[in-house]
């Protein structure tokens, strides 16, 4: 139950996550790929970003997995139009088969829901082919620090405290340095990790309540009887209404890039450039669609403040 999401509600409310996902997809399109890779969308949710991934890479095979049955159901409906090029399955990322068969692991807005990143990166590393790429974004560093502090204060209130006995830490928000160390320990190379502030303004109190209930605090609300949900969300909405700007969520994303070394890399016997099988450049025609999609997102639905710059500064760790 802890893993379940309201897939239908998430699908309607997830414009911020969708927008961030499209930006990561643009980064994937900028990489030198062959164009026929096997890509894993790790934690596909309802498949909104996955659909763009499939459109952007029309000759790639995509496996879309998620731990939540409701999310997988929504994703299955959306992605069935792509036929046998895509398979959708309910899978816990920590239980991915150890097959070394994936060329690319793509993941957006997922890793912070998994506490054990050491194990996560080990599993992802094992499921990649040699030379395979991990490109991901999740919450990191000070992500939602203000909102989390306010939520913790409400959880401690007399009317709610008894419901949160034995409450486990829910999210993992590491910074880039810790993440780079973990990736390195798992065996990855060419590691880049960097934080990217992504403050997000929701349009009104009703949307704010629905958004935080569906996208952030559903594990909290599951602990409470339904008649207390409104009381729990009320002080958070009241705080947010007084902020400047009102209903701003202090999101911060952690961007991750890493590669599984090739045997050649490990033995220092690199093939000359031009003879490497990954030296084919991306088709520039593949680049335009997600940009249009991103620009087409209605700003009156969610005024998320994402500058559409080409590159943001990555902290190069190793
Ligand atoms: C915020 S949603 C992001 C979904 C999608 N990637 C997007 O950008 O809209 C987080 C997703 O991570 C999934 N998730 C969390 N922990 C997971 C795990 N251990 N294995 C697989 N999926 C997981 C959740 O079920 C949920 O669908």
Q: Which residue segments constitute the domains of the chain, with CATH numbers given?
A: 7-142+172-200+252-307 (3.40.50.150)
Tell me the C-alpha distance between 68 and 60, whole Å: 24
Kindly report the pTM of this predicted structure: 0.86
- Predicted pLDDT at 306: 28
Distance from the alpha carbon of residue 44 to the mean position of ligand 1, in angstroms: 6
Residue 28 backbone phi and psi in degrees, to 5: -65, -40
Q: How far is the CA of 43 from the centre of ligand 1 (A)?
A: 4
Three-class DSSP labels, the chain: CCCCCCHHHHHHHCHHHHHHHHHHHHHHHCCCCCCCCEEEEECCCCCHHHHHHHHHCCCCEEEEEECCHHHHHHHHHHHHHHHHHEEEEECCHHHCCCCCCEEEEEEECCHHHCCCHHHHHHHHHHHEEEEEEEEEEEECCCCCHHHHHHHHHHHCCHHHHHHHCCCCCCCCCCCHHHHHHHHHHHCCEEEEEEEEECCEECCCHHHHHHHHHHHHCHHHHHHCCHHHHHHHHHHHHHHHHHCCCCCEECCEEEEEEEECCCHHHHCCCCCCCCCCCCCCCCCHHHHHHHHHHHHHCCCCCCEECCCCCCCCCCEECC
Nearest-CA residue for atom 26 of ligand 1? 45
247 conformational bin, left if phi > 0, alpha if psi -120 to 50, beta if neither: left
CA–CA distance, 245 with 54 (Å, rounded to integer): 36
Give CA 132 to chain center in angstroms. Answer: 19
- The pLDDT score that the predictor gives to residue 232 is 98
Does the beta carbon of 110 lie inside 6 Å of ligand 1? yes
pLDDT tens, N- to C-terminus, the chain (318 residues): 468 999 999 999 999 999 999 999 999 999 999 999 999 999 999 999 999 999 999 999 999 999 999 999 999 999 999 999 999 999 999 999 988 899 999 999 999 999 999 999 999 999 999 999 999 999 999 999 999 999 999 999 999 999 999 999 899 999 999 999 999 999 999 999 999 999 999 999 999 999 999 999 999 999 999 999 999 999 999 999 999 999 999 999 999 999 999 976 666 555 455 444 443 333 333 333 444 444 444 333 232 222 222 332 332 222
Residue 170 Cβ < 6 Å to ligand 1: no
49 lines ligand 1 (CB under 6 A): yes
CA distance 3 to 218: 10
CB of 220 sitting under 6 A from ligand 1: no
pLDDT of residue 263: 78
pLDDT score of 267: 62
21 lines ligand 1 (CB under 6 A): yes
- CB of residue 173 inside a 6 A radius of ligand 1: no
Q: 289 preceded by cis ω (within 30°)?
A: no
């Amino acid at each position: 139950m802890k893993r379940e999401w309201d897939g239908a509600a998430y699908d309607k409310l997830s414009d911020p996550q969708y927008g961030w996902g499209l930006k990561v997809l643009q980064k994937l399109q900028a990489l030198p790929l062959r164009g026929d890779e096997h890509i894993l969308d790790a934690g596909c949710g309802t498949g909104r970003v996955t659909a763009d991934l499939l459109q952007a890479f029309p000759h790639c095979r995509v496996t879309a997995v998620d731990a939540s049955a409701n999310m997988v159901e929504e994703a299955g409906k959306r992605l069935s139009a792509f036929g046998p090029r895509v398979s959708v399955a309910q899978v816990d990322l920590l239980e991915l088969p150890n097959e070394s068969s994936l060329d690319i692991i793509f993941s957006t807005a997922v890793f912070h829901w998994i506490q054990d990143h050491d194990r996560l990166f080990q599993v992802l590393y094992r499921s990649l082919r040699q030379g395979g790429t991990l490109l991901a974004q999740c919450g990191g560093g000070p992500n939602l620090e203000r909102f989390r502090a306010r939520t913790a204060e409400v959880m401690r209130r007399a009317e709610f405290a008894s419901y949160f006995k034995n409450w486990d830490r829910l999210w993992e928000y590491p910074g880039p340095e810790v993440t780079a160390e973990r990736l390195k320990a798992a065996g990855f190379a060419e590691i880049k990790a960097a934080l990217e502030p992504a403050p997000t303004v929701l349009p009104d109190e009703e949307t704010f309540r629905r958004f935080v209930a569906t996208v952030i605090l559903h594990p909290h609300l599951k602990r409470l009887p339904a008649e207390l949900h409104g009381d729990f969300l009320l002080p958070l909405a009241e705080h947010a209404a007084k902020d400047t700007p009102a209903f701003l969520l202090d999101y911060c994303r952690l961007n991750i890039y890493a590669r599984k070394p090739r045997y050649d890399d490990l033995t220092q016997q690199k093939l000359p450039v031009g003879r490497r099988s990954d030296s084919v450049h991306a088709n520039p025609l593949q680049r335009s669609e997600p940009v249009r999609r991103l620009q087409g997102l209605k700003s009156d639905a969610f005024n998320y403040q994402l500058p559409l710059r080409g590159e943001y500064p990555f902290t190069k760790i190793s």
